[in-house]
Amino acid sequence: MKTFMIERYGDKAGMRAGEMPDPRVGADDVLVRIHAASINPLDLKLRDGDFKAILPYRLPLVLGNDLAGVVIQAGPGVTRFAVGDEVYARPDKNRIGTFAELIAVHQDDVAVKPATLTMEEAASLPLVALTSWQALVERAQVQPGQKVLIHAGAGGVGSIAVQLAKQLGAHVATTASTAKVGLVEELGADVVIDYRKQAFETVLDGYDVVLDTIGGETLEKSLKVLKPGGKVISIAGPPDPAFAREMGANAILRLAVGALSFRTRRRAGRRDVTYSFLFMRADGDRLGGLAALVDAGKIRPVVDRVFPFEETREAVEYVEKGRVKAGKVVVAMR
């Protein structure tokens, strides 16, 4: 099968087209012919080796963490899908590789594609929708009336998280550039901070939850807008000890990972708030529930641009250079 792969970490120009053997299909797997996949910042981090100590993939590695396609084979233990089903998925972290013609995915990580979406639209959703759900519902347990700040509301995660937070009944603030203010207002944001004109930490106060998608100084400043007992959940900040435990890291590596976030966790503690790092997990059942929200018109994907599969490398460069106007970039098979 045709793929786009890396042969070594850290080589920004190293992703190349290549042939790989067709996937082996386990008893509980479905073999999916991929129609579309999307680009995520996670793909760049994996390419650069940011998680290689915790996620030791065997090289060469096919990148890609989202897909939409059609089931063309089902293992003997599969009970949830049949050949011909249109599906979408975020494969388990140990079985990524959606920049390819085919992928074998465990049936528990797959869901029926939202009926109202194209393959390209559906492929943009799994990772960002699951991230939003796991941050806002499972980790933060957002309740109606709570105040939630979502950074980069026009981004891949942000554009879905803003909509989900509104469905949860929250009062939602977000940050965006001047050109994107109108979009995030359409998505449901109650308060939009144009970060080119205002410093969000001087405008917002008393928030229950912050979803940080940027890290760095933005993360540090986010601690200031939380009320006592508030939570900041980051997908871009330093990993914490809980993440290392979830990944099965040994004791030495857990200590090293904990040191990365020590300063942030200490600063959070001094303000009587909590910091945690989120690395989302695959969840087909939840994708099924999210598909229902999509088909009901409660959540809609935001797709910036679709590249042909042959231009996957160019699509990754487009994301890396910050040229995305809003939402996600997708690659589509012909």
Q: Tell me, what's the pLDDT at 257?
A: 83
Picking from 227, 215, 261, 202, the residue whose alpha carbon sits closest to that of residue 148 is 227
- The answer, yes or no, to whether residue 54 has pLDDT greater than 90, is no
Average pLDDT over residues 21-33: 98
* The 3-state secondary structure of 207-276, one letter per residue: EEEEEECCCHHHHHHHHHHEEEEEEEEECCCCCCHHHHHHCCCCHHHHHHHHHHHHHHHHHHHHCCCEEE
CATH topology of domain 2-124+301-332: Quinone Oxidoreductase; Chain A, domain 1 (3.90.180)
| Owner of token pair 């980069």 | 152
The tokens describing 203, both together, are 């405008």
- The answer, yes or no, to whether residue 89 has pLDDT greater than 80, is yes
Question: pTM to 2 decimals?
Answer: 0.96
Instruction: Tell me how far apart the alpha carbons of residues 26 and 258 are, in angstroms, rounded to a whole number.
Output: 36
CB burial readout 185-212, b (16+ within 10 A) else e: bebbbebbbebeeeebbeebeebbbbbb
- The answer, yes or no, to whether residue 334 has pLDDT greater than 80, is no
In the chain, the amino acid numbered 1 is M
Proportion of the chain above pLDDT 70, given as a percent: 100
Helix (H) or strand (E) run with residue 89 in it: strand 86-89
Could you state, in order of their start, the residue ranges of all structural domains in the chain?
A: 2-124+301-332, 127-277
- What CATH code would you report for 127-277? 3.40.50.720
Residue pair 112/288 in contact by the 8 Å Cβ criterion: yes
